[in-house]
Structure 1
Amino acid sequence: MKFTINKKHLSYLTSLVHRAASNKNTVAALSGLLIEISSNHGLTMTATDMEIGIKASTKEINIIEEGSVLVNAYYFADFIKLLPDTTISIEFNNNSSKLNISYGRSSGVINTYSIQEYPELPLKEMEYKFTLPQNVLKEALKKTVFAATNNHFRQVFTGVLFDIIENNQINIVASDTHRLAFYNYTLENINLEPFNFIIPIRSVNELLRLLDDTDDDIKIGFSENNVIFYNDNFIILSRLIEGKYPNYDQVIPKNFNTKVLLKTDILSNSLERAKTMPTDDKLKIQHAQFTFKEDEISINSFSETIGEIVEIIEEFNLEGDNDIKIAFNTNYLLDVVKLLDNETKEISISLSGSLGPSLIKNPDKNNYLYILVPLRTTG
């Protein structure tokens, strides 16, 4: 195997793929990056730890000899990233089983793994299901994945739910039981029977790295216990999380006592300042106490050891009951406020009492909402 390639193209492709490799030392081959050179596909890289797999290709290379090799993914990626911006020459030495990398008058040699031990991604039995525009999938995942949790005794909460329901509606949902993010989209030109699947947070984050902001299609298929997202440029395969997701529709309140409309940036800045107050031993969750009155909204953040911050917001519109006190996890509320700050000047908060779940959304869009359960405090 021998080829030359511009460092920019090599580094970009490596950065897309290598993170799917295992960073543990249990099975050497799973920490590998499979590099394949062929006249049909150019340079193809594959990495997998059996939980997630990524495969991507580029034809921006000069092929001298076809072939394949398996190298340590993380070392190769780190080394390539630091090379100068020049043409890189890569050659596999069959006699020494080492990969030679030349750049200008300098060079490096990397040991290789046995390619026979590398597992093949289960792509041959893949069954296509439906298609989403890249920008829609990217927006949906960005607006939901942060609401899932990394650790929970119910594994379904460590992933994002894709729920295809009647009338070609897809709901993309994530929750840690204290908050829930919900995104809806109408699938086009297809008639699917209702079904759902859950993919882990890690797979979502890797998929977000690969997606761009165009409306080009991403196809979605299934093979064994894996979901596969793919187009002409890449394939990402993820194991599915087993288990039944709870009825999220029951969590979304239908009736509210109070509705508030206020400036997104004002609320964001107030919460950022409130966040500077540390947590205390009594309630180890950073929180802000909101008081909604007819003429003002106050946001109180208190610490026995440091002090107190009181933010007053006077520019808002309130409908329904006032003189309501409610406490929110500061970081949980700030997550969605900063997210919506990128798309809307105003944010809508609907309250169902001091202890009932609140609904937060962009008032001009109905396809996304965020449910936040308030905290019980003694203050």
Structure 2
Amino acid sequence: MKVFINKNVLESIVTNTNPYLEKRDLSAITSHIYICAKDGVLNIKATDYEIGLAYKLSNAKIVDDGVATANGKKLLDIIKSLKDEDVLLETMNNYLYIKQKNSKYKLPMYKFEDFPEFPTIQNKAKFDIDAVMLGRSLKKILPSIDNNNPKFELTGAMLDIKDGYINIVGTDTKRLSIFKFETQTQNEFSLIIPKKAIHEMQKLFFDKIEIYYDENILIAQSANFEFFTKLINGKYPDYNKVIPKELKTKIMLNRDKISEGIKTISMLSDTIKITIATESITFESIIEDNSEAKTTIEYTTGVQDEISIGVRNKFMLDFLNSIEDDEFEFGFNDNHLAFLLTSKELQTVIMPINL
């Protein structure tokens, strides 16, 4: 193989594929990036078996067809050190050479035949959805997804496709977020996308993309790349049971003022007591030692009976950072029961801390 390619293009692709590599076992073929030059197209792939990403480039200058593999992290470190000029990738005697003028690097290759095959869209249903909207929706509920839960299904986001709308749901059992958007749907079904895959989808879902799926795999294809992720098999909890059906009190609050009050207390404490009175809102730290932080803002809420709740700062801030509107709705029943934050299509149910 002998290929000339723009340094910045190569660096961008190798950077984007690095999260897909096996990091723990460097002897595995999946710790390597797969590079194939054939029929005027340069293919670059990476996968850890759970997720995968492949790029197709037609603007690289292919002198000789061929296949190579290289440790993804080492290859990225080398490319970053090079100047903004074309780079030569060349294979000789089971090594990949990376050359640029007077600089030359050599990396050992593994057997490219051992590199895993990517899944195909054959026999998979097409998911007709606006990929940009899907990426935006997943981002809003991402903070609520659990990172490490024995119930594996809770480490992903559920897409619950209904007649005429889709609910995208994430929970860590202490809070639950739902983003609902109306769209044409053909079939009612649900699937669970792993959190790691969602992080990567944020970087990719901004163009015209076709999405395919079955019970085990989701595949996204554009003109330039192909992405896949294994889906989580499991029974997602009935999230509708968590959402309060009725609310005794509903208050419209200002996003920036509430965010400022919480951040003021966050310097000392990661949990907070919020007291909502008729003409003010007070934020107080919840700390076991004798230190204290407290601030009050003037704000007309209109409540007749004072409301006090304890909550983790992060839960509130994650919601506030996910919304665009200046105001949001705070729904409350009792300080021992879950309360509801709402802004347009996004709802977050949060379990309070006992005061």
Query: TM-score, normalised to structure 1's length?
Result: 0.89
- Structure 1: distance between partners of 2:136 and 2:299: 29
- Structure 1: distance between partners of 2:132 and 2:302: 34
Q: 1:184 to 1:304 in 2, by over 3 A?
A: closer
Structure 1, residues 115-152: CA drift from partner, whole Å, max 9, x if none? Answer: 11111012153513213223211211110111011111
Structure 1, residues 187-241: CA drift from partner, whole Å, max 9, x if none? Answer: 33x522x1111111111111112223xxx43322125721112222222111111
- Structure 2: distance between partners of 1:306 and 1:376: 19
Task: Determine whether 1:299 maps to 2:294.
Answer: no
The one-letter amino acid of 1:289's match is: K
- Contact map agreement 1:161 1:173 (CA 8 A) in 2: yes
- Structure 2: distance between partners of 1:73 and 1:187: 39
Which SS does the other structure have where 1:177 is aligned?
coil
Question: Which of 306, 315, 338 is matched with 1:323 structurally?
Answer: 306
- Structure 2: distance between partners of 1:27 and 1:160: 32
Which SS does the other structure have where 2:19 is aligned?
helix
- Structure 2: distance between partners of 1:61 and 1:236: 21
- Structure 2: distance between partners of 1:26 and 1:155: 26
Which SS does the other structure have where 1:81 is aligned?
helix
- Structure 2: distance between partners of 1:318 and 1:53: 53
Map residues 54-93 of structure 1 onto 2, 5 A cutoff: 54-93=53-92
The one-letter amino acid of 1:22's match is: E
The one-letter amino acid of 2:21's match is: A
Which SS does the other structure have where 1:242 is aligned?
coil
Question: Which of 246, 251, 267 is matched with 1:276 structurally?
Answer: 267
How much does 1:26 deviate? Answer: 6.9
Q: 1:246 to 1:224 in 2, by over 3 A?
A: closer
Q: 1:306 to 1:59 in 2, by over 3 A?
A: farther
Map residues 256-271 of structure 1 onto 2, 5 A cutoff: 256-271=247-262
Structure 1 match to 2:129: 132
Structure 1 match to 2:171: 175
Which SS does the other structure have where 2:11 is aligned?
helix
Question: Which of 285, 295, 315 is matched with 1:332 structurally?
Answer: 315
Question: Which of 229, 242, 248 is matched with 1:238 structurally?
Answer: 229
The one-letter amino acid of 2:193's match is: I
- Contact map agreement 1:16 1:210 (CA 8 A) in 2: no
Query: TM-score, normalised to structure 2's length?
Result: 0.94
Q: 1:183 to 1:224 in 2, by over 3 A?
A: closer
Map residues 83-122 of structure 1 onto 2, 5 A cutoff: 83-93=82-92, 96-122=93-119
Structure 1 match to 2:350: 372
Structure 1 match to 2:271: 287
Which SS does the other structure have where 2:12 is aligned?
helix
- Structure 2: distance between partners of 1:288 and 1:145: 22
Q: 1:26 to 1:87 in 2, by over 3 A?
A: closer
Question: Which of 312, 317, 325 is matched with 1:344 structurally?
Answer: 325
Q: 1:244 to 1:275 in 2, by over 3 A?
A: same
Structure 1 match to 2:218: 227
Which SS does the other structure have where 1:172 is aligned?
strand
How much does 1:60 deviate? Answer: 2.5
How much does 1:322 deviate? Answer: 2.5
Question: Which of 177, 186, 202 is matched with 1:191 structurally?
Answer: 186
- Structure 2: distance between partners of 1:160 and 1:133: 17
CA RMSD of aligned residues (A): 1.8
- Structure 1: distance between partners of 2:148 and 2:102: 49
Which SS does the other structure have where 1:198 is aligned?
strand
Which SS does the other structure have where 1:60 is aligned?
coil
Structure 2 match to 1:200: 194
The total of aligned residue pairs comes to 355
- Structure 1: distance between partners of 2:290 and 2:54: 51
- Structure 2: distance between partners of 1:68 and 1:274: 56
- Structure 1: distance between partners of 2:272 and 2:236: 30
> Which of structure 1's runs of 4+ aligned residues deviate more than 4 A?
none
- Structure 2: distance between partners of 1:185 and 1:228: 22
Structure 2 match to 1:142: 139
How much does 1:257 deviate? Answer: 1.6
The one-letter amino acid of 2:191's match is: F
Q: 1:104 to 1:316 in 2, by over 3 A?
A: farther
Which SS does the other structure have where 2:293 is aligned?
strand
Unaligned runs of 5+ in 1: 279-285
Which SS does the other structure have where 1:185 is aligned?
strand
How much does 1:168 deviate? Answer: 3.1
Which SS does the other structure have where 1:129 is aligned?
strand
Which SS does the other structure have where 1:22 is aligned?
coil
Q: 1:134 to 1:191 in 2, by over 3 A?
A: closer
- Contact map agreement 1:350 1:359 (CA 8 A) in 2: yes
